Structure 1
Amino acid sequence: MKIFKRTGKMALGSRLRMLTAKFTDDAAAIYRLYNIDMQPKWFPVFYVLSERDDVTITEIAMEIGHSQPSVSKIVREMAANGLVVENKDSADGRRNVVQLSATGKEIIEKIQNQYQDVNNAVEALSAEANYDLWKAIEEWEFLLDQKSLFERVRETRKRRESSFVEIVPYEAKYQSAFRELNVAWISKYFKMEGADYKSLDYPQSYILDRGGQILVALYRGEPVGVCALIKMDDPEYDFELAKMAVSPKAQGQNIGWLLGNAAIEKAKSLDANALYLESNTILKPAINLYHKLGFRKVTGRPTPYERANIQMELRLH
């Protein structure tokens, strides 16, 4: 147990497995104490069948929160020990239902004293403790249903990685990164077009000298993401959010979100009223990002890109 003092909460799963193993070993010994022919892992299935007759494996799985293959395996084991039987449903011959056998039904009566004694022992144990484990488990189950531990770790990782990300203004030394990152993603899904070459080969004259902006995301000093605000000659929109690209090795580190927000803040600082962008619906992560940033779909505008099949806007005022 000393190892948990060194590992801390990151070994939560291992510690819970050890606690579960203790309860499981004790449960097996308790069944022997009361002369009940039962394995601890069978109990949830047995309890459902003791309350309901003619239950399908699917219904049992839903009731106890196990997978169907897991329940099927338990039912086979219980059947091999003579505790359950499987029959065709009398009302629907296509369904197999599980029932306690005569031997299984005998256990219902025999196990009642065990139920009472175990419940009282657990209540006494709980009274000795400073914390109510049962309530804590219910609370943790609820919280993990809202957001799994995996999702929480992934979000924590993104926040940590994001602390190494810096969004900086474009400089000439980033021209190759600006071009290469964009060429890589465009070529992966589509083909390079004339408008791409103009902005990527000549960012100074095509974007910056016309009043646009380019932002670069540095991860530990290395350029891993870029995006541009291209000045639009349009009464409705001030800038087009364009040429956003993130290196595959930096994906999952929140780079797109940081770039998008930085671009929006830059547009606001330039007193922009609205932003516009074009994309393609096969780029689902990108579309989801734009929605999270606040962009909404618009229609009916001409586009110079063959690949564009969705247009979006963000009103800033």
Structure 2
Amino acid sequence: MKSFFDKTGKMALGSRLRMLTARFTDDATEIYKLYDLPLSPKWFPVLFILIEDTEKTITEIAEEIGHSQPSVTKIIKEMAAAGLVASNLKSADKRTNVVKLSEKGQQLSEKLKVQLVDVEAAVETLTSEARHNLWEAIAEWEFLLDHKSLLRRVNEEKKLRESKDVRIVEYEAKYQSAFKALNEEWISTYFTMEAADYKALDNPKTYILDRGGKIFVALYKDEPVGVCALIKMDDPDYDFEMAKMAVSPKAQGKNIGWLLGNAIVKATKELGGKKLYLESNTLLKPAISLYHKLGFKKVVSRATPYARANIQMELVLDN
């Protein structure tokens, strides 16, 4: 019969690590008894630091062992109740409160040092019997998770999976109402609709398509949930403007903005454009982050028909 972890696989990594931690903790409790040490396993990090350094503040201990300050404070109180530490002492310069081992704690630390020699030898033996070095693997995983958390990795996989149900198609007349509604939704949420908005949204064919631009529509399971326009500019510095990007709140988190942005960049290149321009507002942090991810850089402010625009950006294309 398959075990629980055979059935779940790696998705239960956290549960398996907790069980392994519990096994080590239970053994640690018995090991302390073996050496006649009245200690709780959770005290060890604090005790070890105080053995290494004669006195420390709670903040210093918390930072060094990677615990929260409230957690360390609780441990210190428990150790003080056991007579192992003296707390709320003044440092040598009288400026901060510090914690240090009591006389009882110092005596106990000498016995602990003997135990640690045996524990380290036992762990080395266990490591030599294993095919994989757990200690080194943990360090590697910690490094990788510091760089990118598991939450972020899962979110990326979620976006990737859901984006497979997204299709980017070119605008057709049947999408005109969605083009307008999606833009009205986000603009009205943060700002006020302006005359320039209605000009483009009410007449996309005349204002955008007939002038050499394009509009892309994101379909999620065949429902229009995102739009973005590529507007031909009559400007000495820029060929096209990326504008009117909107994604329905119910479809956010599916990489749709990224897919639309890439469709715009690709179309700009295909049309021979060298520089792509956009306007936005710094309140829209996810949008600004997306533009940076696409390669846009902030430029000096230019004249704009939109009262809400407070940032202009450009993307220089390498065709």
TM above 0.5: yes
Report the counterpart of residue 238 of structure 1 in structure 2.
239
**CA–CA distance in 1 between the matches of 2:101 and 2:22?**
27
Report the counterpart of residue 22 of structure 2 in structure 1.
21
Trace 1:94-173 onto structure 2 (pairs within 5 A).
94-173=95-174
**CA–CA distance in 2 between the matches of 1:206 and 1:142?**
51
Off by >3 Å, runs of 4+ in structure 1: 90-94
Deviations 1:130-179 (A, max 9, x none): 11111111111111111111111111111111111111000111111111
**CA–CA distance in 2 between the matches of 1:135 and 1:231?**
56
Give identity over the alignment, percent: 68
| SS of residue in 1 equivalent to 2:302 | coil
**CA–CA distance in 2 between the matches of 1:263 and 1:275?**
9
Displacement of 1:87 in angstroms is 3.2
Change beyond 3 A, Cα 1:85–1:201: same
What is the letter of the counterpart of residue 66 of structure 2? G
**CA–CA distance in 2 between the matches of 1:239 and 1:40?**
64
TM-score by length of 2: 0.96
**CA–CA distance in 2 between the matches of 1:210 and 1:81?**
81
Report the counterpart of residue 186 of structure 1 in structure 2.
187
Report the counterpart of residue 294 of structure 2 in structure 1.
293
Displacement of 1:107 in angstroms is 0.7
**CA–CA distance in 2 between the matches of 1:311 and 1:91?**
56
**CA–CA distance in 2 between the matches of 1:286 and 1:227?**
13
Change beyond 3 A, Cα 1:97–1:234: same
What is the letter of the counterpart of residue 87 of structure 2? E
Say whether the 8 Å CA contact 2:297–2:315 is kept in structure 1.
yes
Say whether the 8 Å CA contact 1:297–1:310 is kept in structure 2.
yes
Q: Which runs of 5+ in 1 are unaligned?
A: none
**CA–CA distance in 2 between the matches of 1:260 and 1:224?**
14
What is the letter of the counterpart of residue 248 of structure 1? P
TM-score by length of 1: 0.97
Displacement of 1:94 in angstroms is 4.2
Report the counterpart of residue 5 of structure 1 in structure 2.
6
Report the counterpart of residue 314 of structure 2 in structure 1.
313
- Output the aligned Cα RMSD: 1.3
Report the counterpart of residue 201 of structure 2 in structure 1.
200
What is the letter of the counterpart of residue 142 of structure 1? F
Q: Which runs of 5+ in 2 are unaligned?
A: none
Moved more, 216-225 or 18-27: 216-225
Displacement of 1:314 in angstroms is 1.3
Change beyond 3 A, Cα 1:90–1:128: closer
Say whether the 8 Å CA contact 1:227–1:242 is kept in structure 2.
yes
What is the letter of the counterpart of residue 18 of structure 1? M
Report the counterpart of residue 272 of structure 1 in structure 2.
273
Deviations 1:185-228 (A, max 9, x none): 10011101111011111111111112111000111111111000
| SS of residue in 2 equivalent to 1:127 | helix
**CA–CA distance in 2 between the matches of 1:299 and 1:120?**
64
Say whether the 8 Å CA contact 1:240–1:275 is kept in structure 2.
yes
| SS of residue in 1 equivalent to 2:56 | coil
Displacement of 1:300 in angstroms is 4.5
What is the letter of the counterpart of residue 14 of structure 1? S
Report the counterpart of residue 224 of structure 2 in structure 1.
223
Say whether the 8 Å CA contact 1:54–1:89 is kept in structure 2.
no
| SS of residue in 1 equivalent to 2:88 | strand
Report the counterpart of residue 70 of structure 2 in structure 1.
69
**CA–CA distance in 1 between the matches of 2:297 and 2:113?**
61
